[in-house]
């Protein structure tokens, strides 16, 4: 079975919008695990606009499944990850002002830098993953810098899925076959949803883990609204 790691950034966004501690990020993470998820993912950014660095520390004492921290490996991020020692660190080349991740690493151009960062994390016993586009050259580059896994950036698949899912999946199949051939693990994430996740899973050989946040939280709002509205109505009868 492919493991599901739930990204809780959007829970922190909602909390931060109002101040205080509602919803309680730690409680939500605990409940997500209790509901069956096999991992919790966070992606702290320098401006702490959703996940705060203290959240990352607090979650360390809460998460009992796999703990995955994503981010651009600037010095502050590296120090945080080495302090917490999560199960996995996923390196993402997002700019400081990026709304969300929008590209994978060029693992060839950035070979020297990434190899040193990965060596640092692996020396601390942390599994490493590199966020890459579905390009066999980038997959091979990730292997050459000794990453344990790649995370396939799936926005393009999700965007094209409705129009032509057979065509949309092809680059990802090719990248996955390359990963299998050279012996690097495969994760995936970004805009995977209830609509497109099954087809992706069925066509990507040896998919180890998916990280899903925005779609899962949005779907939970819609699928849970009927229940909550009627709970209020019952209270008001």
Pick the catalytic residue from 50, 151, 190, 209.
190
- Backbone CA torsion sign across 223, 225, 226, 232: positive
Q: 7, 56 in Cβ contact below 8 A?
A: no
Pick the catalytic residue from 43, 50, 151, 209.
43
Long-range contacts (CB closer than 8 Å, 24 or more residues apart) made by 197-201 = 199/161, 199/165, 199/169, 200/154, 200/157, 200/169, 200/172, 201/2
Pick the catalytic residue from 33, 50, 66, 70.
70
Question: Is residue 214 among the annotated active site residues?
Answer: no
**DSSP per-residue string spanning 104-123:** ---TTTTHHHHHHHHHHHHH
Residues 6+ apart with CB under 8 A from 101: 43, 70, 92, 94, 131, 153, 190
Question: Is residue 190 among the annotated active site residues?
Answer: yes
Question: Is residue 48 among the annotated active site residues?
Answer: no
Q: Which residues are catalytic?
A: 43, 70, 190
């Amino acid at each position: 079975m492919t493991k599901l790691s739930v990204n809780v950034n959007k829970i922190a966004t909602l909390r931060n919008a109002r101040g205080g501690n509602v919803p309680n990020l730690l409680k939500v993470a605990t409940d997500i695990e209790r509901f069956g998820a096999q991992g919790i993912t966070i992606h702290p950014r320098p401006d702490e606009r959703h996940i705060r660095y203290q959240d990352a520390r607090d979650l360390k004492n809460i998460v009992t499944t796999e703990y995955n921290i994503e981010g651009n490996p600037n010095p502050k991020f590296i120090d945080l990850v080495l302090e917490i020692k999560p199960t996995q660190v996923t390196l993402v080349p997002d700019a400081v002002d990026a709304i969300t991740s929008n590209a994978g690493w060029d693992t060839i151009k950035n070979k020297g830098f990434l190899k040193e960062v990965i060596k640092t994390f692996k020396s601390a016993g942390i599994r490493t993953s590199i966020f890459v586009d579905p390009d066999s050259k980038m997959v091979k580059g990730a292997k050459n810098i000794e990453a344990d896994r790649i995370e396939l950036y799936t926005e393009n698949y999700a965007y094209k899925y409705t129009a032509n899912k057979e065509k949309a999946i092809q680059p990802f199949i090719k990248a996955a076959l390359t990963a299998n051939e050279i012996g690097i693990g495969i994760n995936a994430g970004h805009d995977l949803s209830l609509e497109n996740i099954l087809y992706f899973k069925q066509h990507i050989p040896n998919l180890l883990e998916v990280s899903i946040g925005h779609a899962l939280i949005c779907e939970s709002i819609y699928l849970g609204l009927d229940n909550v509205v009627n709970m209020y109505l019952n209270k008001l009868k």
